[in-house]
Structure 1
Amino acid sequence: MNPSIAEHYREILVGLGENPEREGLRDTPTRAAKAMQYLCCGYAMSLKEVINGALFESQSDEMVIVRDIELYSMCEHHMLPFIGKAHVAYIPTGRVLGLSKIARVVDMFARRLQIQENLTKQIADAIQHSTDAAGVAVVIEAKHMCMMMRGVEKQNSVMTTSVMLGAFRESSATRLEFLQLIGRIG
């Protein structure tokens, strides 16, 4: 745990008018620092480490989809969480990616200070780079605490972002199949 982060949390408590020495807050700066480091652990990860050689030869050239990958990230503007799910698809060209690695790629980028638009693109680009797929599609749906807890306080708003690369961008039929399979089009 980085002690300077804990000291900054202590200063925040003082700035808010709190007494960081009172019983309930004595260990809060350290706990908050540990929590923030965990929530932002994606900075310490690399795509190569996350993939860890889990690319396997395959003759499959049909769409591979992993739906409903839960994600937890932090809004870089307010440092409040956004929570949702990612749907990731790719069309292999001789190699497939280990199933858990797709979720790990989502986590690597989600566990950084983010905006959802960039997160969606980073995931798509990473899957494309790792697999050399014929196409990659990523859709993320998330609720943002910065919009729910403050500001306009809209509790039921969901932000949806998408990135379509290769065959998913070029072929409306491929894109439509993906959207139907993840339940976004009837």
Structure 2
Amino acid sequence: MAVPDGVDRERIAALTREFLLAIGEDPDRPGLTKTPERVAGMAAEMFGGLAQDAAGPLAATISVASGPAPETEPSGPVIVRGIRFRSVCEHHLLPSAGTAHIAYLPGDRVVGLGAFPRVIDILANRPQVQERLGEQIADTIADALDARGVVVVLDAVHGCVTLRGPQQSGSSTVTIASRGELAEPAARAEIMALIAAGEPADPDAGGAR
């Protein structure tokens, strides 16, 4: 039956049982009897973003141009680094997981920093490709906050690369989406340098001990 997250758990459980039969398994053996229900629960968690509005977490904003004296001008870039996310590739329904970095130039209003992980979760909890996910995050932030500029950097490891096909266990994919003033090469380069400055040092690299 469909529920508010938009996922029909009963149908997924029935189809999972059929899938197990199709690969030659016995869905009634002890190790698999609960698997269809578990898969249905996982699907509700991994794909619940399809039924949610990604701009919803950005609805409550705070003015930075008015308030206690002295009044301020629009702020410089706000950067949130190291937001963990996971998604499912729409090509093979295999998982991906990685880190998102967000930078934006506020207009008159800013938003609580905890809103950004929720936006990413909603958009990532859908069958996705990383390239589109980054663009969707950038568009959502730019439109909902009327931001002067946005940069979204995603760095993720994909099961379709590490678990099948080329099986490149050390491979990750980086995508960049930019909007407005931060799409200008010099401004984007500055943001990328600030993001990189916050990444942990490579313990295998040389340097001071």
TM normalised by structure 2 equals 0.84
Runs of 4+ in 1 over 3 A off after TM superposition: none
Q: 1:169 maps to what in 2?
A: 183
1:183 and 2:189 correspond: no
Quick one: distance in 2 between partners of 1:132 and 1:80? 34
* Deviation for aligned residue 1:173: 2.5
Secondary structure in structure 2 of the residue aligned to 1:21: coil
Quick one: distance in 1 between partners of 2:92 and 2:105? 36
Residue 110 to residue 86, structure 1, CA distance change in 2 (3 Å): same
Higher helix share: 1
Quick one: distance in 2 between partners of 1:159 and 1:96? 30
Q: How does 1:38-117 map to 2 (within 5 A)?
A: 38-51=45-58, 53-59=59-65, 60-117=74-131
Report percent identity of matched pairs: 40
* Deviation for aligned residue 1:101: 0.6
- Structure 2, unaligned stretches of length 5 or more? 1-7, 66-73, 200-209
Indicate the structure (1 or 2) with the bigger Cα radius of gyration.
Answer: 2
Q: How many residues align?
A: 184
Q: Does the 8 A contact of 2:107 with 2:146 survive in 1?
A: yes
Quick one: distance in 1 between partners of 2:28 and 2:173? 40
Q: Give the aligned residue type for 2:77.
A: M
The CA RMSD measured in Å over matched residues stands at 1.6
Quick one: distance in 1 between partners of 2:29 and 2:12? 19
* Deviation for aligned residue 1:49: 3.0
* Deviation for aligned residue 1:47: 2.9
TM normalised by structure 1 equals 0.94
Q: Does the 8 A contact of 1:54 with 1:101 survive in 2?
A: no
